[in-house]
Structure 1
């Protein structure tokens, strides 16, 4: 064997060892994550809720692209004034979308900006389904003025006639829990009862009593085209009849791709949860791609309406008091 061939083989061997080390590192990361989430402390049976959220947050920080920001403990709001239940972790665009309100630990983020919403639960996931529905009821607004490569663009239900790639996005919903065996193939009776509350979630991460991290994606066999419509044109029947009719005409359909995120599973046994999730979650984020352009006017109109109503009530109350003193 000549020197050049030997060097080539050694390089190939070193590269294979590096890839194996990356795979093993992800397995070790899963174990470390599980241990942190179930760490017992002198004053608590398990780690506190806020600490668990920090641990889960650390996972997503190293997983999602830097174009997104991750905030802990927020409320999501829409331009109709609807507000979600508190969201443990929100992954959202912070470059082009303003906070509706941010002061200290109180944060309100517009629904148009949010790409992922995460609910962190311990061994009891009661209420998870209601939490998910409080987000799915929010109504993104299609009304923006933006500079695109073609120039200044005004998009609204009144002006746009061509089909759109996004009309009403919704966040990817993730449940992070510490429930039972965590084995969807062999669920215990309590697992089955608990996971009835997870049907509204896209991804379920669970650490079981044996410190094993598992992942369930109920709709992992959906074609990418199905995910595209679910995340970019979500449930247009929620809107009023006139808006709904226009929205449905604007939906840009996509033919079946013949590909699913199940194909992004690293190993059939599902042992390398975090490495698989890295590709699967980022693929879903790429199907949303960018959050919707922020509809400034819609939110301004909402605040104006509340301001007018508040002033009217104030005047009525002042008039009533004045009338009572005559």
Structure 2
């Protein structure tokens, strides 16, 4: 069809745009505080552009009706339609605990305990609920919605570490500190191959074991992934 849009390509290009902005902030800004602020602004801008308008995303501190406050949270996703902002002064914002849907910590790479502690500071707040009345009649009291928590990283360093961090819910942390999702904008580094180039293979089976098992007696970073012997016929 002539008017068809390749949605997969469209979203891939949107991701590439975000990844480019994050890479620029990392390479061009040297001061750690300024770099962190630029990275946060890029992630926040992406969420603001793509979330339905009912939802808001802001850097904020979450507060409950007893006056207890969370840590400062890089990105809070909350109901923007029915939320009363306790305080908005310049760039500082207090958001009530009840309408919070998700909290995110923005990092250059995976950081386990810090993000978990931030999540726990929000989930530990007191949240209330009440029955409502509308044109349909009375609606029964609903329990507060679970708050999602996650990491938004420029890159994951080791992708497997990010998967373990999120999928296992930070096994060493309490339930309130567990993370439920994570995202990384940049692809992981290309793996570096290492190998042996030999005049002859000596014992062919030994060379095959060396390569295929990746030097089982060595650490992962010391393992070999390929080998070539001049005596190709024997190998």
- Counterpart of 2:69 in 1: which secondary structure? coil
Measure, in 1, the Cα distance between the counterparts of 2:119 and 2:37.
Answer: 20
Say whether the 8 Å CA contact 1:175–1:198 is kept in structure 2.
Answer: no
Matches within 5 A, 1:1-326: 13-15=1-3, 18-20=4-6, 22-39=7-24, 40-41=27-28, 43-44=30-31, 48-72=35-59, 74-123=60-109, 125=111, 126-143=113-130, 146-150=132-136, 164=141, 166-184=142-160, 187=161, 199=170, 200-208=178-186, 210=188
Tell me, in whole angstroms, the C-alpha distance in 1 between the residues paired with 2:107 and 2:168: 12
Deviation at 1:120, TM superposition (A): 0.7
More strand by share: 2
Residue 80 to residue 143, structure 1, CA distance change in 2 (3 Å): farther
Cα 1:53–1:211 shift into 2, 3 Å = farther
Q: CA deviation at 1:198?
A: 5.9
Deviation for aligned residue 1:27: 0.7
Distance 1:197 1:104, change over 3 A: farther
Q: What is the TM-score normalised by the length of structure 2? A: 0.64
1:173-217 deviation line (CA, Å, top 9, x unaligned): 221013444423xx5xxx6897799631221012457589xxxxx
Shift of 1:110: 0.5
TM-superposed CA distance for 1:43, in Å, is 3.5
Q: Partners in 1 of 2:33 and 2:66 — Cα distance?
A: 39
**TM-fit CA distance, 1:88:** 0.9
> Could you say what the CA RMSD is over the residues aligned between the two structures, in angstroms?
3.1
Gaps (5+ residues) in structure 2? 171-177, 191-235
CA 1:195–1:29: 2 relative to 1, 3 Å? same
C-alpha separation between the residues in 2 aligned to 1:150 and 1:195?
40
Contact 1:128–1:198 (Cα < 8 Å) also in 2: no
Per-residue deviation, 1:135: 1.3
Query: Which of the two has greater helix per residue?
Result: 1
Report the TM-score, using the length of structure 1 for normalisation.
0.48
Deviation at 1:30, TM superposition (A): 1.2
1:283 corresponds to:
none
